[in-house]
Amino acid sequence: MNLPSRVRIVDVGPRDGLQNEKQPVPAEVKVELVHRLQAAGLTEIEVTSFVSPKWVPQMADNAQVMHGIHRQPGVRYSVLTPNMKGLEAALAAPREEWPDEIVVFGAASEAFSQKNINCSIAESIERFAPVVAAAKAQGIAVRGAMSCTVGCPYEGEIAPEKVGYLAGLMKGIGVARVDVADTIGVGTPRKVQAALEATLAHFAVDAVSGHFHDTYGQALSNTLAALQLGVWNHQSSIAGLGGCPYAKGATGNVATEDVVYMLHGMGIDTGIDLDALIDAGVFISQALGREPNSRVSKAVRTKRAG
């Protein structure tokens, strides 16, 4: 079986992970989390979202967080920009505080698109066209997050053709790479592979990443299924933080600690120090007043305690 020899992980914890936390997390804690992640060897971090604080109050400190980060060479810092206003806000800072990449998004489910942003899939992607063009004109990379690629809380199962349709629209507006996300965590390996194959008809394998939620305990199996197709970019969240405010019952992303442990056990290189990663997960979990949602973290810490 030809598996990738290395995997690049994007940690989405600081943004996707924290966005639904009811209790406000201070900006300095978010900055420290980013610093700990990069110190552990993460080379891609989704930092924050330039979204209206009315909708996502947790991200109201976006500019403060971007300002506070001590950037490390070789690390890519991305932010979510839901519209032109978001992009303008992200670029209102001095150039050295700009993101390296912005993330735009769309759903493979018409019902989810309507409920989430009150428009059709095609309209939602069309709205992002000027945002993508403006970002690229400033030399900023663009990633497209494709949600509900295997299942939707309103529509149920999603056909791979719909995923291919969304990927084609993303490609059409100039998005450089895409995430294939199982937003509600209902996917199983073959369904995930079908969604990825539909995407790979439009994007090269180097431009596709997996993003699996662990709602039904399938995220690591789905990660392995993606690896079998050669997909070597993967998104996960430190300490298993996060769900989606618009996807009912979606528990957290798969924990970065669990993904890294699995990959290292398979002899796949990530460039990440698992012990430092576990400590970063403990740091943010303590700030939230709970245990990390990672089995590997728990097992390693139990072993450390002797």
Tell me: pLDDT of 137 over 70: yes
**pLDDT for the residue 219:** 97
- Give the pairing of strands 141-147 and 151-152: unpaired
CA distance 26 to 269: 33
Domain 8-305, CATH 3.20.20.70 — does that match? yes
Read off the pLDDT of residues 272-288 as tens digits, 9 standing for 90 and up: 999 999 999 999 999 99
CA distances from 49 to 83, 222, 288 (A): 11, 27, 19
Which tokens go with 119? Answer: 């428009």
- Check if 244 is active-site: yes
Residue 102: pLDDT over 60: yes
Q: Encode 100-111: b = buried (16+ Cβ within 10 Å), e = exposed.
A: bbbbbbbbbbbe
pLDDT of residue 243: 55
Specify the pLDDT at position 116.
84
Among 221, 206, 214, residue whose Cα is nearest residue 237: 214
Q: Give the pLDDT band (50/70/90) at residue 245.
A: very low
Report how far apart, in Å, the C-alpha atoms of 192 and of each of 88, 92, 97 are: 35, 38, 36
What pLDDT is stored for residue 168 in this prediction?
Answer: 98
Judged against a pLDDT cut of 70, whether residue 247 lies above it is answered with no
Catalytic residue (one of 119, 148, 152, 244)? 244
Give the start-to-end residue ranges of the domains of the chain.
8-305
Q: What is the pTM of this model?
A: 0.96
